[in-house]
């Protein structure tokens, strides 16, 4: 496993953006891969716990509109499962 580092500044976090589809719209999320790796290492049980932690991690560097939270949870869980369960 590669060593993860926190970005030194907002500019570094912005360089770590990945695009995903959220509710039919493509959005860019900063630090998504780092968040997925961190949540995976927590060995959480159940989709709800995983989605809760992904949302917590992703909102550190990204704005998530309250009205879109359910769509983001679904999209984050989908991206998590793609990366963790190849």
Q: How far is CA 85 from CA 31, 51, 54, 61, in A?
A: 20, 15, 16, 25
15 CB burial (10 A radius; 0-12, 13-18, 19+): exposed
Strand ranges (E), 23-71: 25-30
Q: pLDDT-derived band of residue 85, with 50, 70 and 90 as boundaries?
A: confident
Is pLDDT of 29 > 50?
Answer: yes
Is pLDDT of 36 > 50?
Answer: yes
Distance CA 30, CA 49 (A): 21
Compute the mean pLDDT over every residue in the chain, rounded to the nearest whole number: 88
For residue 77, count other CB atoms closer than 10 A to its CB: 16
Q: pLDDT-derived band of residue 12, with 50, 70 and 90 as boundaries?
A: low
Q: pLDDT-derived band of residue 14, with 50, 70 and 90 as boundaries?
A: low
Residue 56 has what pLDDT? 97
Q: pLDDT-derived band of residue 16, with 50, 70 and 90 as boundaries?
A: confident
Distance CA 80, CA 18 (A): 13
């Amino acid at each position: 496993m590669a060593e993860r580092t926190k970005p030194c500044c907002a500019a570094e976090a912005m360089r770590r953006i990945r695009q995903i589809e959220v509710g039919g719209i493509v959005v860019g999320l900063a630090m998504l891969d780092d968040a997925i790796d961190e949540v995976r290492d927590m060995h959480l049980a159940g989709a709800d716990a995983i989605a809760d932690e992904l949302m917590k991690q992703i909102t550190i560097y990204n704005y998530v509109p309250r009205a879109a939270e359910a769509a983001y949870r679904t999209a984050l869980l989908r991206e998590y499962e793609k990366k963790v369960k190849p």
